[in-house]
Amino acid sequence: MKKYKIHQVDAFTSTKFQGNPAGVVSHADGLSETQMQAIARELNNSETAFLLSPTSADHDVWVRFFTPTMEVASCGHATIAAHYVRALENNLPSCTVIQKIGIGILPVEIIRAGDDYRIVMTQGAIEFSEPFPAAKRDAILSALGLAVGDLDERCPVQIVSTGHSKVLIGIRKRATLNSLKPNLARLGVISDLIKCNGYYVFTLDCDTQDVLAHGRMFAPAMGIAEDPVTGNANGPLGAYLVRHRVASGTNGVLSFMARQGEAMGRPGIVEVMVELDGDKPKTVRVGGRAVVAFETTLEL
């Protein structure tokens, strides 16, 4: 029998019970894949992160992510949560940690402020699929409870990935966003057809200068009806806004904040930074704060 420490961490917030909760098992060596999946199912967060010893000299830590039903290659909020816990446990100074995750070897910035931390992760390669033809676009809109007239005309409906693909759907009004009641079963069926499990509906209809976008993310095919605050949706959003010239950067970088989770009563803020190559998105980073809600031990 071995004891494993488990943390429940709220990411993209500094307030407990807001933002996006993630499980973190900070010393997960010795757990089998079956046990990791069972722990993720028991915790029932959208993702649980497992911190493992490195497997080679090119990284400092190996992180695996599990939803309640499957392993995923990358997860924004659980990365923030995992490295926040690791920084606290190791009393880290400001530094860069190299992590191995399912999409490759990537840096994570640990930014210390007093006894607390802000975490910034570099996401994977930016990939754009072609915008959906009208028939598939309309099927997605119908399942979300939207009509073509709700769309922001600057924003084609398409799949974008920075390691974990999302369908991006830009709409005109925040009131429409907040009132969405999607048909989750239909979204799940469409996910099988388009080979993408997440739908990020966003709007640039904001009433404060410090927030550029509000969004909601649905992923029923992954066992996630709605995700409170999603790093792997807001990162692709940054690349998408640059690609379609909806937003532009300053001195080679587009930086903005996106707010998500309000409809669930779990608001959080994602900081998005897109490095540009001319007028094209080159690299995406997302960051934010975190707070430990509670911790416990599990004996297996």
The C-alpha atoms of residue 277 and residue 252 are separated, in whole angstroms, by 7
Query: What 3-state DSSP class applies to 27?
Result: coil
CB 82 within 8 A of CB 64: no
Backbone torsions φ then ψ of 26, nearest 5 degrees: -80, -25
Query: What 3-state DSSP class applies to 293?
Result: strand
The C-alpha atoms of residue 257 and residue 33 are separated, in whole angstroms, by 35
The C-alpha atoms of residue 270 and residue 286 are separated, in whole angstroms, by 7
Residue 200 one-letter amino acid: Y
Instruction: Map tokens 């669930």 to a residue.
Output: 264
Indicate which residue of 42, 47, 153, 295 is catalytic: 47
Q: Does 47 qualify as catalytic in the annotation?
A: yes
CB 206 within 8 A of CB 175: no
Q: Which residues of 254-277 are buried (b: 16+ CB within 10 A; e: fewer)?
A: bbbbbbbbbbbebbbbbbbbbbbe
CB 273 within 8 A of CB 231: no
The C-alpha atoms of residue 77 and residue 283 are separated, in whole angstroms, by 18
Q: Which residues belong to the active site?
A: 47
